[in-house]
């Protein structure tokens, strides 16, 4: 029986985004604070996903062996290092989160049956790499606080209460929403970036966080005057808002995950098919899970 197992590891390291072929002003413009000398550091958290058949002992792999491989090939070399100098690969392509994940895959692939390398630079930024050449995924996590009422405008209070329960109460209720935006793209062979991170953060702030934060969604966001602001509909609307500006940055919106509470979350996957894409004609991404 096929099974995927995951092993966690961690390392602390510093890095700097700086291209010697650019002037100081050009580096600052491209990389912002990340270009500052002598660099900055992170406590990286690494998840290695492995696949295989269950053996007679109920294991895919001996995780003790996996631990030693990860330590030998990766963490012992990167822990307390300056990443730009740690591996030769980072002389050619800068040690961004997505590129570090790619190189870790290359280092581990000869030794382990990998299916994914996931690297957290910090809790609000992480990358996923699945072995597809220069293709990677980058996720930004952010949040906003808002109130809403679940009530269809064409139904009576009694009908809405029957459908939505306490969430239909006329004065609404609030949530601290957590939002995860995942983009997909090709890692630039020189900068190591699949997208300008500062620009991506700005797009998410401009199109979602600032307009949504501290609002009553039903009244302050015109779209929700007629559309019930369930978590699913909010995530779908956010995906509509973000797809085009992210595409203008040279990446593709892959997933929007909205966490309404510790008990409720939903995910919208934006596919390449015409029926599930977002465009000026109003096509929608697919609702994957709730």
Range of the domain at 46: 1-126
Q: Is the pLDDT of residue 83 over 50?
A: yes
Confirm if 47 and 10 have CB atoms less than 8 A apart: no
- Inside any domain, residue 281: no
In a domain, 150, yes or no: yes
130-136-139-140 Cα dihedral, nearest 10 degrees = 160
Whether 5 and 90 map to the same domain: the answer is: yes
Identify whether residues 136 and 34 lie together within a single domain.
Answer: no
CATH of the domain at 245: 3.30.479.10
User: Which 8-state DSSP code applies to residue 75?
Assistant: I
Number of domains composing the chain: 2
Active-site residue, selected from the candidate residues 68, 214, 226, 248: 214
Q: Going by C-beta distance under 8 Å and a sequence separation of 6 or more, which residues neighbour residue 147?
A: 172, 173, 174, 175, 215, 216, 217
Active-site annotation holds for 3:
no
Tell me whether residue 279 is in a domain.
no
167 is catalytic: yes
pLDDT at 56 over 90: no
Percent of all residues in the chain with a pLDDT value above 90, rounded to a whole number: 90
Catalytic residue among 124, 135, 167, 178: 167
Does 149 share its domain with 67?
Answer: no
Residue environment code for 117-135, b if the CB has 16+ CB neighbours within 10 A, otherwise e: bbbbbeeebbbbbbeeeee
* pLDDT in the model for residue 272: 59
Q: What share of the chain is helix, strand, coil (3-state, %, to 5)?
A: 35, 30, 30
Residue 289 lies in a domain: no
User: Residue 277's pLDDT is what?
Assistant: 36
Taking the model in full, what pTM does it have? 0.91
Q: Which residues of 53-69 are buried (b: 16+ CB within 10 A; e: fewer)?
A: eeeeeeebbeeeebeeb
Local confidence band at 161 (pLDDT 50, 70, 90 cut-offs)? very high
Q: In this predicted model, what pLDDT tens digit does every residue of 128-139 receive, in sequence order?
A: 999 999 999 999
82 within some domain: yes
3-class DSSP state for residue 196? coil
| Tens-digit pLDDT profile for residues 237-280 | 999 999 999 999 999 999 999 999 999 999 999 975 433 333 32
Does 2 share its domain with 122?
yes
280 inside domain: no
* List 121, 180, 232, 260, catalytic entry: 260
Lowest-confidence pick of 75-84, 209-218, 266-275: 266-275
266 flagged as catalytic: no
Residue 285 placed within a domain = no
Residue 282 has pLDDT above 70, yes or no: no
């Amino acid at each position: 029986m096929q099974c995927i197992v995951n092993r966690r590891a961690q390392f602390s390291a510093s890095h700097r985004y700086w291209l010697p072929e650019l002037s100081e002003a050009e580096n600052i413009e491209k990389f912002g604070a990340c270009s500052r000398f002598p660099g900055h550091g992170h406590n990286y958290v690494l998840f290695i996903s492995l696949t295989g058949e269950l053996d007679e002992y109920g294991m895919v792999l001996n995780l003790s062996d996996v631990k030693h491989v990860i330590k030998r090939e990766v963490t012992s070399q990167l822990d307390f290092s300056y990443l730009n100098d740690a591996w030769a690969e980072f002389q050619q392509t800068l040690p961004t989160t997505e590129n570090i994940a790619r190189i870790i895959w290359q280092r581990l692939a000869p030794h382990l049956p990998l299916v994914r390398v996931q690297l957290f630079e910090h809790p609000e930024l992480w990358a996923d790499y699945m072995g597809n050449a220069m293709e990677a995924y980058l996720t930004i996590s952010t949040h906003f606080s808002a109130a809403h009422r679940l009530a269809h405008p064409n139904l009576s209070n009694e009908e809405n209460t029957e459908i939505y329960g306490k969430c239909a109460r006329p004065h609404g209720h609030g949530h601290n929403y957590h939002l995860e935006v995942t983009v997909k793209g090709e890692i630039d062979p020189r900068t190591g970036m699949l997208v300008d991170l500062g620009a991506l953060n700005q797009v998410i702030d401009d199109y979602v966080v600032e307009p949504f934060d501290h609002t009553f969604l039903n009244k302050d966001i015109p779209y929700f005057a007629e559309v019930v602001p369930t978590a699913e509909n909010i995530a779908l609307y956010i995906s509509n808002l973000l797809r085009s500006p992210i595409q203008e940055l040279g990446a593709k919106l892959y997933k929007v995950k909205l966490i309404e509470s510790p008990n409720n979350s939903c995910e919208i996957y934006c596919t390449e098919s015409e029926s599930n894409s977002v465009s000026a004609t109003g096509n929608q991404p697919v609702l994957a899970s709730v």
